């Protein structure tokens, strides 16, 4: 690749990004799209949709992801539209459950993929049935039963 093409690529990307941002601003400013995406209008749509509202939201979420829109945007919209009404879990329970779930899941998946990588890189496929591989698989399967164990020791949840 020539030096000219290397230096022009970021410039072209920046230019296209600016064009995209200007297009979105103009689209929302000069079309009725902004009225449809107003929080109150979206809430009214959710009420009218009834029990199909979550299904429609999931379809919109999936469609947005397919068009390379950030998932964070849809997660935030879901929080605004549906809020905490769908659960009786307190924020503290949610936070600590997520924290420990991510820790356990991260450990198990890291251990599992490190073991697979070691087997793959060495070409010693018989180690797939070794104690490390089987232990990592057992930990992975066991992680699905953590909620049952917690419910057993804390039945009021």
pLDDT at 5: 53
Cα of first residue to Cα of last residue in the chain, in angstroms, is 61
Which pLDDT tens digit goes with each residue over 87-108? 677 778 878 878 887 888 888 8
Q: Average pLDDT over the chain, rounded to whole?
A: 82
Which pLDDT tens digit goes with each residue over 129-139? 888 888 888 88
> How distant, in Å, are the alpha carbons of 46, 64, 81, 147 from that of 41?
9, 19, 10, 38
Q: What does the alpha-carbon distance between residue 135 and residue 127 come to, in Å, rounded to a whole number?
A: 12
Pair 82, 57: CB distance under 8 Å: yes
Pair 97, 143: CB distance under 8 Å: no
The string over 32-64, giving b where at least 16 C-beta atoms fall within 10 Å of a residue's C-beta and e elsewhere, is eeeeeeeeeeeeeebeeeeeebeeebeeebeee
pLDDT at 55: 92
Residue 21 token pair = 């941002």
For residues 67-87, give the mean pLDDT. 78
Residue 59's pLDDT band (boundaries 50, 70, 90)?
Answer: very high
Position 77 pLDDT exceeds 60: yes
pTM value surpassing 0.75: no
């Amino acid at each position: 690749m020539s030096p000219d093409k290397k230096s022009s690529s970021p410039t072209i990307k920046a230019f296209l990004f600016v064009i995209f941002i200007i297009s979105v601003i103009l689209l929302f400013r000069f079309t009725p799209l902004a009225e449809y995406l107003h929080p109150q209008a979206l809430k009214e749509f959710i009420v009218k949709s009834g029990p199909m509202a979550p299904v429609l939201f999931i379809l919109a979420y999936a469609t947005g992801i397919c068009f390379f829109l950030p998932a964070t945007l849809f997660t935030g919209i879901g929080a605004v539209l549906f809020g905490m009404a769908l659960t009786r879990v307190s924020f503290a329970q949610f936070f600590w459950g997520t924290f420990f779930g991510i820790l356990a899941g991260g450990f198990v998946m890291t251990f599992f993929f490190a073991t697979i990588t070691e087997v793959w890189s060495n070409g010693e496929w018989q180690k797939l049935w070794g104690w490390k591989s089987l232990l990592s698989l057992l930990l992975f399967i066991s992680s699905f039963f953590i909620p049952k164990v917690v419910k057993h020791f804390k039945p009021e949840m």
